Amino acid sequence: MEDIQQKILLLDRTTFLYLAKDLSTVWNSASTGMDLKQRILRLLICEIIATVDKIKNEIILIIHWKGGRHSELRIHKNRTGHHGRSNSMEAVEIIGQMATKFSDKIIASTLNRLGLKTGTGNSWNQSRVRSVKNYQNIRTYNTNMKHINVTLTLRDTAKELGVSQSTIRRLIKYKIITAQQIVSCAPWQIEKSELEKESVQKVIKAIQNGKKIPWSLSTNKENLMLFSL
C-alpha cells in the first residue's frame, strides 16, 4: 500500500514539473478547474502577508514563494461605501452639477444620451437619479423656485422669442446668443438677459419680417448683423 502511494506522489511531482514548463497555458486553459489551480498555488506559495497603505489607499500583498523569492502586489482599496457595483464618479458628478437646475427626468435623459450606466449596468430613470441624490446628500431641484429662475432652456427661449428651437440653436452656434451646457448632451442654459440684447432682437425681428437668413453663408456674428439691418 505504501509503495502504491509513493508511486502516486512521484507521478504528481513528475506531472507538476512537466506542467511548470508552460504554466501560463495550463492556468488559462478552460479545462483547468479551480481545484487544480489551488493545488498549483499550494505548491508554489508559502504564505501571503497583507498590509494596508493608508496614504495611498492600497492593500499590499507580500507573496512568499517556495524557493525564497518574494513578490509585492498592490491593489487599490475601495473607499467606504464604494464597491464593484457603485455608480461611476462621472455620473455622480454630473448629477451633482445638474441637480439644482434640472429635474430628475432631464438629468436621467442626459446621462442616457451620454451613454452612462448605473453601477449595475442599467439605464437611468428618475428614481435612480433620486436615489443617488439621497445617498450622496446632493441638494435637489426646487420646482417652487422655477418662477424666479433667470436661466432659460432652449425650448423656453424659443417660446419667449417666438421662433423655432432650430433657430435658437443657430443663434447659439453663431454666438448671437450666449449659452452654456454643464456637459455635452445636457440642456442649454441661457440667461434671460440674453433675449434683450440688441443683436438678438435685430436678428429675431428680421426673421419675423420674413427675411431668410443665409446661415450657410454666415461665418460670424457681423455677417448676421449686417443682414438683419
* Residue 128 pLDDT level (bands cut at 50, 70, 90): very high
pLDDT for residue 184: 83
DSSP single-letter state for residue 52: E
- pLDDT of amino acid 124: 93
Beta strands in 29-165 (DSSP E): 45-53, 58-65, 70-76, 151-152
Domains and CATH numbers, the chain: 2-76 (no CATH), 89-146 (no CATH), 150-228 (1.10.1660.10)
Cβ-based neighbours of 138, under 8 Å, separated by 6 or more:
95, 96, 99, 132
Q: Which phi and psi angles does 165 have, rounded to 5°? A: -65, -35
> What's the CA gap between 187 and 151, in Å, rounded?
11
The pLDDT of residue 217? 47
Report the alpha-carbon distance of residue 150 to residue 135 in Å, rounded. Answer: 29
Model confidence pLDDT, tens digit, residues 198-208: 888 888 888 88
* pTM of the entire predicted model: 0.52
Task: Tell me what pLDDT residue 108 has.
Answer: 93
Q: Are 224 and 206 in contact (CB under 8 A)?
A: no
Strands 58-65 and 45-53: antiparallel
Q: Are 188 and 152 in contact (CB under 8 A)?
A: no
Instruction: Extract the runs of DSSP E, i.e. beta strands, from the chain.
Output: 45-53, 58-65, 70-76, 151-152, 190-191
pLDDT digits (tens, 9 = 90+) for 75-112: 776 655 554 455 678 888 899 988 888 889 999 999 99
